[in-house]
Structure formats: structure tokens, C-alpha cells
Amino acid sequence: MSLGIARPAAAPPVMPARPSTPVEVRPAIGEDPARIRATIARAPLFAALPINAIEDLTARVQVRKVPVGSAVVAQDEPGDAMFVIMNGRIKVVMFGESGREVTLSLLKSGDSFGEMSLFDQGPRSAHCLAIEPTTLLCLSREDLMRHMQAHPRTAVNLLGEMARRLRRADETIAQLALCDVNERLIHRLVALGREEGASGPDGLVVRRRPTQQELANMIGSCRETISRAFNQLARDGLIIPRGRSLVVTPALIERCEKKKAA
Ligand code: CMP
């Protein structure tokens, strides 16, 4: 069974911005079941599951290691499995005709993806690319369905995850229609700080600062515009670029909250 990992022959046509690394999928032999269990137990999708449900999932998943740059899921391909990130990072992305990229989401350890096509039987809705060497738990459609029949709590959790994603997508649509680039950038930086940042003396420290091109791809803008807006926020002391990291200050968070309330 392929478990949904895109093979080189089935990869989408390569655009300039698309990853060109052929997909190399290696089953992880001898992965520690305790680590698998721990990944499942802390994944939001499997939150508050009873221990027997976690054991059931542990017995059903397979571990896969994917190198950086590979397409775990390719848009428009049929889907036969979903994934939970054990470690590493995945970017959910769509490409326009010209190869221009829009980043839908950045996923980290514990996050899951690849479930949509298992439920609506449609093709994969987006590309999911490894942006770091990544280890995944793969759960086939068949195993997911069997598991949910025995443990309906997982289906409820899945609905919760999908509702959260729809909520985020609604927010993005509203921002694209109603906010200028500056406001969208502030909102995105504050969200990054909240999702990935650790508390520091000057604010929330995002360990890996996204590049200006990555920020542009996240908020539907171009690098030049983001560069100007980003540098202005830094001059105003609202963000502090520090080496490869970025500090999101309480002043930026306050400004974002005020805008929301206005
Ligand atoms: P699927 O359509 O099977 O394959 C692509 C996956 O990308 C999809 O399932 C979701 O898991 C994920 N995905 C699609 N759109 C979004 C989004 N807007 N935010 C986060 N994840 C998404």
C-alpha cells in the first residue's frame, strides 16, 4: 500500500517554484512504540482519547521518514492515507499557473494533514511539502474508518479540527477582502508569535524567522511590498529581528488587538 506518499512518477508538473527533489520514502524500521504512542497522545486530533483508542491507533499507523523538499501529498492526486507529524515541518501550499505560491498553513510536530480527500473522496486539495527532514505517522483510510467505528471520539475531534481550519480560512478570506497588506502582515506575525513563539524578555520569540518571500506567500502579497512593511515595523520597534529569530513585541500584539476591536 502506498499510504498516500507521492511517488516521483506521479508528481505534479514541476513549476519554477516547486520542489524538484524526487520523493524518497523510507519506512522507519524499529521505531520505538513508546514514541509513536507519545506522538498520538499529544496530537490535538487525538486529544482526550481513552488509552485503548491510543493503543488501537498505535497498532494501525506506519512510520515514514521523508527528506526535506519532498511532496508527501501532491495536489490533485487521489488520497488513501492521512498523516500525523512526529517531528519536522510540513508546508501546505497551492501553486498558480505562473508558479506563484500561496501558503495555506505551516504544520509542526503533532499536527495532522491529508484527511480531507479521505472523507469527500475528492483529489488532494493542496500540496503538502516537507520543509525539514520529517518523520510521519501514516494512517490509511481503511484503518482510520475502522478506528472511528470503534472510537467515535476521534470523529468528533476531527470535526473540531476541520471547524478550526474553516474558521482560520474564513479569517483569511475576510482579511484579503478587508485589510491592507500592513494589517495582514501584523496579523500574521502575531499569529506566528502565538503559534510558535516562546516567551522572552522582549516578547514572543519565533525561533525560525520566516523569509520575506515566505511571509508574502502567506498573506497574498509580493516580497518587495513585504520588505517595506516589515522594515517599517522593525524601525518602529514593534518587531525585533535577531539573527535567525524574530521577536514579536507586546506593542505589536496590542496594535493587532486594537485593530480587531475597531
Ligand atoms: P487532502 O485534501 O487530503 O490533502 C491536502 C491536505 O492539505 C488536506 O487534505 C488538508 O489536510 C490540508 N489542507 C488543505 N487546506 C488547508 C488549509 N487551508 N489549512 C490547513 N491545512 C489544509
* Burial of 9 from C-beta contacts in 10 A (0-12 / 13-18 / 19+): exposed
129 has which bridge partners? 71, 91
Q: Which of 105, 159, 161, 195 to mutate to test the pocket of ligand 1 (most atoms within 8 A of CB)?
A: 105
Q: Model confidence over 200-219: pLDDT tens digits?
A: 999 999 998 999 999 999 99
pLDDT average, residue stretch 173-192: 93
Residue 48 CB partners (closer than 8 Å, separation 6+): 153, 157
- Percentage of the chain beyond pLDDT 90 is 79
Ligand 1, atom nearest to 165 Cα: 19
By alpha-carbon position, which residue is closest to atom 18 of ligand 1? 104
Taking the mean position of all CA atoms in its chain, how far away is CA 206?
Answer: 16
Rounded mean pLDDT, 45-52: 92
Give the Å distance between the CA of 141 and the centre of ligand 1: 15
Cα dihedral 20, 24, 25, 31 sign: negative
What CATH code is assigned to 33-167?
2.60.120.10
- Here the cell at position 69 is 523538499
User: Class of the 179-261 domain?
Assistant: mainly alpha
Say how many Å lie between the CA of residue 146 and the centre of ligand 1: 22
Q: Which residue, by CA, sits nearest to atom 8 of ligand 1? A: 114
pTM for this predicted structure: 0.83
Predicted confidence (pLDDT) per residue in 156-165, tens digit: 999 999 999 9
Give the closest residue (by CA) to ligand 1 atom 20: 105
pLDDT tens figures, 92-140: 999 988 888 999 999 999 999 999 999 999 999 999 999 999 999 999 9
What is the structure's pLDDT at 225? 96
Ligand 1 centroid–CA 125 distance in Å is 6
pLDDT for res 30 = 65
**Sequence spans of domains, the chain:** 33-167, 179-261
Residue 2's pLDDT is 42
Ligand 1 atom nearest residue 123's Cα: 2
Once rounded to an integer, what is the mean pLDDT over residues 75-94? 96
Per DSSP, what are the bridge partners of residue 64? 27, 136
Do the domains spanning 33-167 and 179-261 agree at the CATH topology level?
no
Distance of CA 138 to the CA centre of its chain: 16
pLDDT at position 219 is: 93
- Ligand 1 site: residues with CB under 6 angstroms? 73, 79, 92, 104-105, 113-117, 124-126, 128, 165, 169
Per-residue DSSP letters for 107-127? E-TT-EE--HHHHH----SSE
Alpha helices in the chain, H assignment, sequence order: 33-42, 51-60, 116-120, 141-150, 153-178, 181-196, 212-219, 223-235, 250-261
Give the closest residue (by CA) to ligand 1 atom 17.
104
Yes or no: say if 126 and 92 are a contact pair by the CB < 8 Å rule.
yes
| Phi-psi group of 121: left, alpha or beta (phi > 0 → left; psi -120 to 50 → alpha; rest → beta) | left
